[in-house]
Structure 1
């Protein structure tokens, strides 16, 4: 599956030294990957696909946390 290869490539990609626009692009790519994988998961309930979605979602959350920054007090 081409989609699983894209997901593995995203999972192994380094997220250090990214600009803000790179982070936004990576976050959008992660969202697209998860939604596409979810459509496939609905059909065949493969646990490997669910694990990949969890990994990508965790990475996406880290990227978004970095985008939002720390709240100022």
Structure 2
């Protein structure tokens, strides 16, 4: 997805029925983040010019939806 300013947004969507075991957002640990960043870098290799990027998380839990902008970074 792209923002109007040209920022490329990679979005990870997680769903959990309840908050047990930390909930949906907590299920994106360090290993999962590294995998997402690796996939994003692989995708970006195809582009002639790399735009600004951001990693968002959408968590769906107990009937509610939460969108966390810039939830983590590539470092």
Normalised to the residue count of structure 2, the TM-score between the two structures is: 0.36
Structure with greater strand share of residues = 2
